[in-house]
Amino acid sequence: MDINEKIELVKRNCVEIVNEDKIKEFIKNGVAYCGYEVSGEIHLGHLVTILKLKDLQDAGIKIKVLLADWHTWLNKKGDWNFVNDQLLQWEKGFKALGLKSEIIKGMSYQTKKEYFEDVLKLALKVTVKRGIRSMQQVARDIENAKISQIIYPLMQVVDVKFLKTNFVVAGIDQRKIYMLGIDEGKEISLQEAVYLYTPIIPSLRGKEGKMSSSIKESLISIRDTEEKIKEKINKAYCKRGDLENNPVLAIAKLIVFPKFKEIEIKRKKEYGKNITFKSYLDLERDFEAGKIHPSDLKNSISEYLERIIKPIRENWKN
């Protein structure tokens, strides 16, 4: 793989890239990180960033995964008994996923004096209003935000420094947090990094936001059975003319195509022969034009998801 192929792999399926011009410079000694709240099942929403990390790994970049125990607690996602139990589940889950990464617990470095000095330096610069605004798509019960949920984004900025990364992978819902760091990072001598923002998979229920661990009916877990996957996809929102809220098409684009490069839609004979797509845009175009029935799309995506999730599920058991 030459350098241009590596750069294209790094950029694939990102909705925004900050400092894109630095990719070629940083890729030679690249270190990437993504942080995850340990607040419930690992699901397809997480798999989007995990596949992005796999792209970076294939491009020769070292991967660090932060299991954000403190962040989970500060964001009111559970008490410490719950958080510690989830840590064990997430460590097991990442081993099952097969990503070759350094797994780091927030507690392992976030209690250090130097770390909190940097958090406090940022606290002197960032307004309460901006702190809350940065968490609008991330915080639980943002209308009644607690001080802990304003500390959260400051810590997330300092994580970039302490993990010594030059590539940051995150869902686009994290953008305002990292932009806060880009604007105020000089206060803590924050190093320059490439920020890769991935799209969000909508809730399976459609117009209610993103796939989320807090709403079980909204997600597909990496531990779901074949039967459960089919059941959930069959019930999923999949309406023409509403690409923004269509989780089935999002799964096709962000999960299935990166793994299989092409998708075959199987159809009953009376509706035409099977059709193979080598491009997501072609699939989207034909679906929107009514050339693919939602049930045929759902059935095919269910089959591909089972092929992806089955080995993860089996590795988890072992």
The CATH code of the domain that includes 94 is: 3.40.50.620
The total number of structural domains that make up the chain = 2
Instruction: Answer yes or no: is pLDDT of 317 > 70.
Output: no
Query: Would you say residue 210 lies in a domain?
Result: no
Query: Would you say residue 211 lies in a domain?
Result: no
Instruction: Provide the domain limits for residue 80.
Output: 3-198
Same domain, 142 and 231: no
What are the pLDDT digits (tens) for 131-178? 999 998 887 777 888 899 999 999 999 999 999 999 999 999 999 999
Same domain, 133 and 81: yes
> Of the residues 141, 166, 198, which one is the last residue of a structural domain?
198
Give the per-residue pLDDT at 318: 60
CATH code for position 226: 1.10.240.10
User: What percentage of the chain reaches a pLDDT higher than 90?
Assistant: 77
The least confident of 70-79, 144-153, 183-192, 265-274 is 265-274
Give the per-residue pLDDT at 29: 95
Same domain, 192 and 238: no
> Of the residues 151, 166, 198, which one is the last residue of a structural domain?
198
Same domain, 45 and 168: yes
Same domain, 119 and 233: no
Query: Would you say residue 243 lies in a domain?
Result: yes
Give the per-residue pLDDT at 269: 75
Give the per-residue pLDDT at 265: 94
Same domain, 157 and 231: no
Query: Would you say residue 204 lies in a domain?
Result: no
Same domain, 86 and 148: yes
Same domain, 8 and 127: yes
Measured between alpha carbons, how far is 181 from 178 in angstroms, rounded to an integer? Answer: 5
Binned at pLDDT 50, 70 and 90, residue 109 comes out as very high
Query: Would you say residue 205 lies in a domain?
Result: no
Query: Would you say residue 207 lies in a domain?
Result: no
Query: Would you say residue 286 lies in a domain?
Result: yes
